[in-house]
Homo-oligomer: A and B are copies of this chain.
């Protein structure tokens, strides 16, 4: 008996769904338990996926976590783009969206991964290219949302300041809720950025 196209389609759907569940559970574990608590066993249990199925998709913990952060990153970029299309397009509104994007679970999960990778050479080889890709994508998105013309002097630097600043602000939000201060700083910077663009 051969498997027909409908069966193969169902298998592909199931496989994709398993991957998605594993990646979602991984990010939840990173946020709740940190890197040390995000073991493959804990993730498989939370996702309701057998260890065999997990190993079929991701051979190592590093591979799983990097895939999860990359997937969440791509999803978040799409989400940010959709929200940005709904705001009035003012520089202040866009910078606020970007700052909120960073002060989120994505940043927290990525931070756990980045910090673990610093002292783990195997993980580092996975995370360094991921950091570069996410950095490029976020920069491109910021340029697009801000309608920034990077050929003009100082504009590229102003966009980079925006991204490094919101990363710094996201860091200050890890142990305590820094939302009110962040809002004030973001508005102030957005007005300075507006003049630079």
Contact = CB atoms under 8 A, between A and B. Distances in A.
A94 B68 CA distance: 40
A128 interface: yes
B157 A161 contact: no
A167 B172 contact: yes
A19 B120 CA distance: 29
Given A158-B188, A188-B161, A176 B128 contact: yes
How many of chain A's residues touch chain B, expressed as a range? 35 or more
B119 A154 contact: no
A119 B114 CA distance: 16
Interface string A165-181: 11111011011100001
Contact of A165 (B36, B111, B165, B181): B165
A12 interface: no
Number of copies: 2
Given A164-B165, A169-B164, A175-B131, A157 B188 contact: yes
Interface string A138-171: 0000000000000000100110110111111101
A52 to B, nearest CB: 28
A86 B127 CA distance: 39
A32 B119 contact: yes
A165 to B, nearest CB: 5
B37 A119 contact: yes
7 contacts: A32-B119, A33-B119, A34-B115, A118-B174, A154-B188, A164-B172, A171-B171
